[in-house]
Amino acid sequence: MAASPSFRVGLIGYGLAGSAFHAPLVAATDGLALDTVVTSDPGRQAQARDRYPDVRVADTAEALLDRAGELDLVVIASPNRTHVPLARAALEAGLPVVVDKPLAATAAEARDLAALADRRGLLLSAFQNRRWDNDFLTVRRLVADGALGRVQRFESRFERWRPQPKGGWRESGDPAEIGGILYDLGSHLVDQALTLFGRATTVYAESDVRRPGAEADDDTFIALTHASGVRSHLWMSATAAQLGPRFRVLGTTAGYVKYGLDPQEAALREGLRPDGPHPWGEEPPGSWGRLGSGESPLTGGGEPVPTVPGDYPAYYAAIAHSLRTGARPPVTAEEAAEALAVLEAARLSAAEGRTVHL
């Protein structure tokens, strides 16, 4: 039997998200074909053509959507302020859509997009690749297996040491840009917490602009109480001179502590491909987290836990499956809206110095 033709993908945006994450993952996925890249930057156009010789290039999203009938999926990896209008335009053109996180600025906008996709019978998904981080997959397995007992507290961090602002829209203080570390790294942290422990009922946050010359929040903390009873403490920072553990998960019988970051982002930034010759998403035993009770893992307490290999390719493999079968996408717009409701509550909490009830 002949193989089914691949779904043709148009990628809007070829900055960091488009070039390092979406393009290589789409190109490595069976059943998907990177058809067109949209960027007005001549240098980025040349880079796309060099790396993907068969790809077409368009200067504008409008030029891409003018030939919507030649595509099967649009991926939006452009600046945050463009996510909602581009997603709406693509859906109205009859195309399924993947949007890089955050899907929108507000939960209401996300739900409006979800309703539009439902009316048109189209897939709409938010790209939450860090559900497939190696350390998160390991935590998810430990929780599911009951290795920690009943989880009481979940601590999760994305911390960096960047004492000088880099500038650009991601660090802009203009609310229209949807910049700042809460919506950047916080989108991942909140999504992971909700995926593990379900909806949040209360949100408390502290958010600061620490670095001289910075415009948007660069040091933020969120405390969630989940309906399940678990408390999640989430840190995101560009000002951490000493990095804390990526995860510390405390249960009634054991705790798990893991340092370091999943290697997939670094590999993608270096130009490596998931379908290349080397094992993907694996890390050496020296980087494994430790599971135990009573003693610090920094002094050898607990037992090392082999880290589950990271698997960013699983996201687009699931997207291809959804396009082929109509199955639920790997991350739904409704899930994205739930996370955005928490981010909105966190912003309100930090501004007013109070706990917000959802």
User: Measured between alpha carbons, how far is 166 from 121 in angstroms, rounded to an integer?
Assistant: 41
DSSP letter (8 states) at residue 161: B
pLDDT, position 294: 83
User: Measured between alpha carbons, how far is 160 from 246 in angstroms, rounded to an integer?
Assistant: 11
Whether 190 and 349 have beta carbons less than 8 Å apart is answered as: no
pLDDT, position 3: 59
DSSP string computed for 24-44: HHHHTSTTEEEEEEE---HHH
pLDDT, position 167: 86
Whether 106 and 280 have beta carbons less than 8 Å apart is answered as: no
- Specify the pTM: 0.95
pLDDT, position 169: 87
Domain spans in the chain, listed from the N-terminal domain onward: 7-127, 130-311+342-357
pLDDT, position 13: 98
pLDDT, position 1: 43
Q: Which fold has domain 7-127?
A: Rossmann fold (3.40.50)
CATH tag, 130-311+342-357: 3.30.360.10
What number of CA atoms fall less than 13 Å from residue 87's CA on the CB side?
A: 34
pLDDT, position 197: 98
User: Measured between alpha carbons, how far is 35 from 93 in angstroms, rounded to an integer?
Assistant: 17
Whether 310 and 132 have beta carbons less than 8 Å apart is answered as: yes
Per-residue pLDDT of the chain (358 residues; tens, 9 = 90+): 445 789 999 999 999 999 999 999 999 999 999 999 999 999 999 999 999 999 999 999 999 999 999 999 999 999 999 999 999 999 999 999 999 999 999 999 999 999 999 999 999 999 999 999 999 999 999 999 999 999 999 999 999 999 999 888 888 888 999 999 999 999 999 999 999 999 999 999 999 999 999 999 999 999 999 999 999 999 999 999 999 999 999 999 999 999 999 999 999 999 998 988 888 999 999 999 999 998 777 777 899 999 999 999 999 999 999 999 999 999 999 999 999 999 999 999 999 999 999 9
